[in-house]
Every structure is written in structure tokens, then in C-alpha cells.
């Protein structure tokens, strides 16, 4: 691919009239990784959630459209929008995926397929200015997706976990897990991180990586119970649709986080002195070709698996009403406080929000502009004279 700045200059040279034009930035994940530090993302999202909590930012509930594609898969077109006027930013985040369902080691799982040319995924953030409407940037969502999930969980801990929390138990060793640990280390004085996931080689590799990166005691353990015993913060970051931690294993003042509601034992929610959800927007709005709009959490075209999911959901639905809990915006903006006398707290990171992509997209855009990173194409290619 070569140096992307080199390429941009080449285009500008052969098309000299572009040099003075207003340009729309196109970034890739490598550039975004270099541009966005976890610290900066935490600060940017802290402000975004404060704006949300104060009623000055808003997201449009994620929608997923399911339709047929080749083979046994489903094509899913997913969009969510967000607006943070204090950053002069609005964004749509979209995913254009071929998905297949199957049985994994931890139960039923759905997997995005690498069907785009070159065995790639398609996930994009389109960023616009709330000042004049102009398109500012187009960028992939993969790196930002990981950062925003990690930061949301770290912000939950920043405002709810015990101030001196030093032991962090991480359940999971996948692509989300390492970012979770890095973000968490920025909001609490961690001294020890214990990692459990079903595959020994994976948990040991992640432990070695994090030890190197964070310079603290990070080690893999053989079971979840050992990981969470006495831990001050427990973070689940798995693909599991069944609970990965039992409430009876936990310290009474622990702060628990997750990246998927179904990872958590419902009794954790019931025993917590304070439960905060990422958003009360609820489930995504699912539009399923042949079925219309269905308010279900997840869609499985195979009857059997679908019934399993229905059972899981049905059995758990009655216990906890997350739609009535405070959200992260209310926590960050101080409208909700952690329990004054301690006790278990829990942050449930149920669903993404458009403001996360507007906020981090705006941060990547401003940093890229300042440092001259990224490809550019003339913004006028995306503008029109015609009244739409």
C-alpha cells in the first residue's frame, strides 16, 4: 500500500486545483490506531457522555436489517447515528456484513464473514459538521469500535468502582479484552490483572502482552472463580450468551462490567447496590425481510438455535428490567451517584451508541488534520446544487 501521505500528495500533484479545495478525509485503521490514544479517547468520551447526560447530545437507536444472501448466511445492514454539537459532529456508523450462525465452544455464536474483496469486513463511520453540514471524513469502524467499548466500561468504573481498586479480573482474551484492560488501567491504580478464558494459549499470550504494555503483574489463571476471587473490578469481555461469572464468587464491594448483557448472572444485577446501563435505548430495531419489524435481541434463521436463544431470553427476561436503570450519561454527568455506603456495583454495556462514533470520529478527524495524515478527496464530490 505504501505511505498513505505519499499517495495523497501524488493525487494532489496531478490535480493541482484540488490543493486549495476543501477535502474530505479518508482514514484507515492503521492511521486511526496511531492517532487515537486510549487517554484521549477516554477524555473525549467523558465529555460526550456528560453532554448526553445534560441533554446536549443524542443517539438514534441502532437498526439492523436482515435479508438473504448466498449460501446459508444472512446479509445484515446495520446503522446507528449520533450527534454531539459541542464537537460540531454528527455521524452515521454502518456495517454491511454477511453473517453466519454456529455452535462455538461457549455456546451459540454469530460470526461476521470476511466476504468483501480481499477477505475484508465492511464497517464505516461517516462524519459530518453540525456547523454547515459538510462531510468531514470517512473511516473504518474496527479500531474505534474496540476503543469505544473499552472506554465506556472504563468510564463506568471511573465513576462507580472503589477508588483504590487495584485487582482487576478479566474474563475473555479476544479482540475486546486487551483494550478493556488498558482502559481500566487508566482510571484506577491497578497492580494486578488476572485473565481467564477457555483456551490456555490465548489467555497466556494476552497476559504476556499486557504485562509488557502496562508494566504491572498480569497473569493467566485456570478458571473464572480463581480470577475473580477478591478482585475489585471484574470485567467480562466474551462472546458468550450464557453467564461466565457466578455471583457467589465475588467480593461484596466489587465493580462488575461486561460487553454483553447475557454474560452476566442475573443475580449480579439483583445484588448490586447500583446498576448503570450504557443506554436505555434498548434493543436494536430489527427489520427482517419476510417478517417485518421484530423487536428481538438477535436473529437466528435456523429454527433450532433460535429456540435456544428464545429460551435463554425467556428465562432471564422476567428478572431484571434494565430499561429502568440509569445510563452512563447520567452517571458521568453526576445525575446519578455510586452507592454512598459501598456495595456491589455493575455497569452493563448493552448496546453501542451513535455518539461514541461521532465523538471518536471527530477526534480522529481533528488529529489527522493537525498531523497531515490520511487520504483526501475533494469534498465537492459529495455536495450537490439540487435541493434533495
Footprint of a second copy on residues 110-169 (CB under 8 A)?
112, 115-118, 120-124, 126, 128-135, 138, 140-143, 145-146
Q: Is 202 in the site for a second copy (CB under 8 A)?
A: no
For a second copy, which is the closer residue by CB, 212 or 384?
Answer: 384
Distance CA 357, CA 365 (A): 11
Residues contacting residue 258 through CB under 8 Å, at least 6 positions apart: 235, 236, 237, 264, 347, 348, 349
Query: Among 253-261, 295-303, 332-340, 379-387, which window interacts with a second copy (CB under 8 A)?
Result: 379-387
Long-range contacts at 102-111 (CB < 8 A, ≥ 24 apart): 104/239, 105/198, 105/199, 106/198, 106/238, 106/239, 106/240, 106/241, 106/242, 106/244, 107/240, 107/241, 107/242, 108/241, 108/300, 108/305, 108/308, 108/309, 109/239, 109/241, 110/298, 110/300
- Our CB check for a second copy shows the closer of 103 and 383 to be 383
Closest distance of CB 333 from a second copy, Å? 14
Please identify, among the stretches 151-159, 204-212, 364-372, 374-382, the one whose residues bind a second copy according to the rule CB under 8 A. 374-382
In the set 16, 215, 252, 388, which binds a second copy (CB under 8 A)? 388
Binders of a second copy in range 300-359 (CB under 8 A): none
For residue 367, give the H/E element and its range. Answer: helix 354-371
CA–CA separation, 109 and 241 (whole Å): 8
Q: Is 175 or 315 the residue whose CB approaches a second copy more closely?
A: 175
Nearest distance from C-beta of residue 28 to a second copy, angstroms: 7
Q: Specify whether the CB–CB gap between 203 and 196 falls below 8 A.
A: yes
* 16, 292, 295, 304: which one binds a second copy (CB under 8 A): 292
Please state, in angstroms and rounded to a whole number, the distance separating the CA atoms of residues 375 and 21. Answer: 14
Q: Which stretch binds a second copy (CB under 8 A): 109-117, 181-189, 304-312, 320-328?
A: 109-117
At closest approach, how far in Å is the CB of 190 from a second copy? Answer: 26
- Within residues 43-102, the interface with a second copy by CB under 8 A covers 55-61, 63, 65, 67-70, 75, 77, 79, 81-83, 85, 90, 92, 94-98
CB of 369 to a second copy, least distance (A): 15
| Complete edge-to-edge strand list for the sheet that includes strand 233-236 | 217-220, 192-196, 167-171, 233-236, 255-258, 345-348, 274-277
Which C-beta is closer to a second copy: that of 65 or that of 312? 65
User: Is the Cβ of residue 46 or residue 327 nearer to a second copy in the bound state?
Assistant: 327
State which of residues 34, 201, 208, 289 lies at the interface with a second copy (CB under 8 A): 289
Query: How far is CA 64 from each of CA 77, 273, 288, 300, rounded to the nearest angstrom?
Result: 6, 34, 8, 13
> How crowded is residue 303: how many other Cβ atoms within 10 Å of its Cβ?
7
Segment 16 to 35, residues that bind a second copy, using CB under 8 A: 22, 26, 28-29
Instruction: State in angstroms the smallest separation of the CB of 181 from a second copy.
Output: 18
To the nearest whole angstrom, how small is the minimum distance from the Cβ of residue 373 to a second copy?
A: 14
Nearer to a second copy among residue 11 and residue 103 (C-beta): 11
Query: By CB under 8 A, what part of segment 268-287 binds a second copy?
Result: 285, 287
How big is the site for a second copy, counted in residues (CB under 8 A)?
84
- Smallest gap from Cβ 388 to a second copy, in A, equals 3
- The neighbouring-strand residues paired with 59 are 82
Q: What CA–CA distance (Å, rounded) separates 320 from 259? A: 17
Let me know the angle formed at the C-alpha of 51 by 50 and 55, rounded to the nearest 5 degrees: 115
Give CA–CA dist 379/128, Å, rounded.
11
Nearest approach in angstroms of CB 65 to a second copy is 5
Q: List the one residue from 34, 201, 315, 383 that touches a second copy (CB under 8 A).
A: 383
Q: Dihedral sign for Cα 167, 168, 173, 178, please.
A: negative
Q: Cβ closer to a second copy: 315 or 383?
A: 383
Rg of the chain over Cα atoms, rounded to whole angstroms, equals 21
Can you tell me the distance from the alpha carbon of 90 to that of 231, in angstroms, rounded to the nearest whole number?
A: 39
Please state, in angstroms and rounded to a whole number, the distance separating the CA atoms of residues 293 and 118.
33
Task: Report the residue number, 41 or 190, with the smaller CB distance to a second copy.
Answer: 41
Minimum CB distance to a second copy smaller for 10 or for 72: 10
Amino acid at each position: 500500500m505504501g505511505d498513505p501521505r505519499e499517495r495523497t500528495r501524488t493525487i494532489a500533484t496531478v490535480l493541482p486545483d484540488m490543493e486549495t479545495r476543501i477535502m474530505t478525509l479518508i482514514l484507515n485503521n492503521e492511521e486511526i490506531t496511531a492517532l487515537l490514544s486510549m487517554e484521549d479517547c477516554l477524555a473525549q468520551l467523558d465529555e460526550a457522555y456528560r453532554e448526553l447526560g445534560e441533554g446536549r447530545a443524542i443517539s438514534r437507536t441502532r437498526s439492523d436489517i436482515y435479508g438473504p444472501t448466498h449460501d446459508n448466511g444472512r446479509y445484515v445492514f446495520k446503522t446507528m447515528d449520533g450527534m454531539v454539537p459541542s464537537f460540531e459532529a454528527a455521524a452515521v456508523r454502518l456495517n454491511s456484513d454477511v453473517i453466519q450462525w454456529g455452535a462455538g465452544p461457549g455456546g451459540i455464536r454469530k460470526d461476521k464473514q470476511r466476504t468483501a474483496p480481499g477477505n475484508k469486513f465492511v464497517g464505516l463511520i461517516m462524519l459530518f459538521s453540525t456547523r454547515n453540514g459538510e462531510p468531514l471524513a470517512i473511516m473504518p469502524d474496527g479500531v474505534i469500535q474496540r476503543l469505544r467499548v473499552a472506554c465506556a466500561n472504563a468510564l463506568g468504573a471511573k465513576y462507580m468502582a472503589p477508588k483504590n481498586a487495584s485487582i482487576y479480573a478479566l474474563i475473555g482474551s479476544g479482540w475486546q479484552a486487551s483494550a478493556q484492560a488498558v482502559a481500566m488501567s487508566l482510571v484506577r491504580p491497578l497492580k494486578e490483572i488476572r485473565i481467564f478464558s477457555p483456551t490456555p494459549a490465548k489467555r497466556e499470550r494476552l497476559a504476556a502482552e499486557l504485562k509488557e504494555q502496562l508494566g504491572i503483574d498480569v497473569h493467566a489463571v485456570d478458571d473464572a472463580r480463581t480470577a475473580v476471587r477478591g478482585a475489585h473490578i471484574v470485567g467480562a469481555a466474551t462472546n458468550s450468551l450464557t453467564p461466565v461469572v457466578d455471583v457467589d464468587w465475588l467480593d461484596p464491594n466489587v465493580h462488575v462490567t461486561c460487553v454483553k448483557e447475557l454474560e452476566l448472572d442475573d443475580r449480579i444485577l439483583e445484588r448490586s447496590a447500583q446498576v448503570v446501563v450504557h443506554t436505555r435505548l434498548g434493543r436494536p430495531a430489527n427489520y427482517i425481510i419476510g417478517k417485518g419489524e421484530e423487536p428481538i435481541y438477535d436473529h437466528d434463521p435456523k429454527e433450532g438455535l433460535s429456540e435456544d436463544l428464545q429460551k435463554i431470553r425467556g428465562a432471564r427476561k422476567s428478572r431484571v428490567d434494565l430499561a429502568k436503570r440509569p445510563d452512563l450519561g447520567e452517571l458521568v454527568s453526576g445525575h446519578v451517584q455510586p452507592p454512598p455506603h459501598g456495595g456491589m456495583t455493575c455497569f452493563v454495556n448493552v448496546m453501542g451508541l451513535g455518539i461514541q462514533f461521532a465523538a471518536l470520529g471527530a477526534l480522529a478527524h481533528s488529529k489527522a488534520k493537525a498531523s497531515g495524515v490520511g487520504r483526501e478527496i475533494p469534498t465537492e464530490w459529495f455536495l450537490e446544487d439540487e435541493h434533495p
